[in-house]
């Protein structure tokens, strides 16, 4: 089997190491890959994870049997859908499922709709409305940029002043880019997570 891994971080390196152990693996490829992955797979660092046309051409050129898409950005943008439409077998969620990771507001609304326990929250697409809401909110409070922010779009604010500064940082100054177009303001919870 000829396998292509999309991504170039530590997660993809771990996936590559595990795949390399399979007796069913004939060839292993990775785009863009990294120096560690390059020791066990053929990498093409000239192709970015969001360059869907180049990824598709590369998969065709290498006669790939299975594509493993790991990073959040191409998953949320629909790379799995593109590859499947071209006839490739792909491991990873389609765009309609990747929205669970790609939009915190969507995920929170889904949990609310199906009575899945989650912290109380409100969503805002207007910074002034968010600031007004915070005037009456209990502190500490959690601010989350709705979209993908490379794991950095969450602020825990202990005071109202911190929370106001967080709204400015996320929604007005756009420290997390378009991920901050919508803001989730969430109740701060402490204690152990119940995994029953």
The pLDDT value given to residue 190: 87
The pLDDT value given to residue 150: 72
pTM (two decimals): 0.81
The pLDDT value given to residue 195: 60
Rg (CA), the chain: 20
* Beta carbons of 135 and 149 less than 8 angstroms apart: no
Report the side by side order of strands in the sheet with 183-187.
121-124, 183-187, 141-145, 154-157
Note the Cα 42 to chain centre separation in Å. Answer: 25
* Beta carbons of 168 and 162 less than 8 angstroms apart: no
The pLDDT value given to residue 194: 65
The pLDDT value given to residue 192: 76
Residues belonging to the chain: 196
Average pLDDT, consecutive stretches of 10 residues, N- to C-terminus, the chain (196 residues): 97 96 97 97 97 98 97 95 98 94 93 94 96 95 90 91 96 92 94 67
Task: State how far the Cα of 190 lies from the Cα of 178, in Å rounded to an integer.
Answer: 29
Q: Helices in 4-121 by DSSP H: which ranges?
A: 10-20, 52-61, 72-77, 79-85, 95-102, 104-113
Q: Coil, strand or helix: which one is 162?
A: helix
């Amino acid at each position: 089997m000829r396998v292509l891994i999309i991504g170039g971080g530590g997660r993809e390196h771990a996936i590559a190491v595990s795949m390399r152990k399979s007796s069913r693996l004939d060839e292993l490829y990775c785009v863009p890959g990294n120096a560690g992955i390059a020791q066990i797979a053929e990498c093409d660092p000239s192709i970015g994870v969001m360059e869907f046309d180049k990824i598709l051409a590369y998969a065709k050129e290498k006669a790939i049997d299975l594509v493993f898409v790991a990073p959040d950005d191409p998953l949320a943008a629909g790379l799995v859908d593109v590859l499947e439409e071209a006839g490739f077998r792909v491991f990873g969620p389609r765009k309609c499922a990747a929205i669970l990771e790609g939009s915190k507001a969507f995920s929170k609304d889904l949990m609310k709709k199906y009575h899945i326990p989650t912290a109380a929250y409100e969503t805002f697409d207007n910074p002034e409305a968010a600031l007004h809401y915070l005037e009456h909110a209990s502190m500490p409070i959690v601010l989350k940029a709705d979209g993908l922010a490379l794991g950095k779009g969450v602020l825990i604010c202990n005071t109202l002043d911190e929370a106001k500064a967080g709204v400015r940082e996320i929604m007005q100054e756009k420290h997390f880019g378009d991920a901050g177009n919508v803001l989730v303001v969430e109740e701060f919870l402490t204690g152990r997570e119940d995994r029953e």
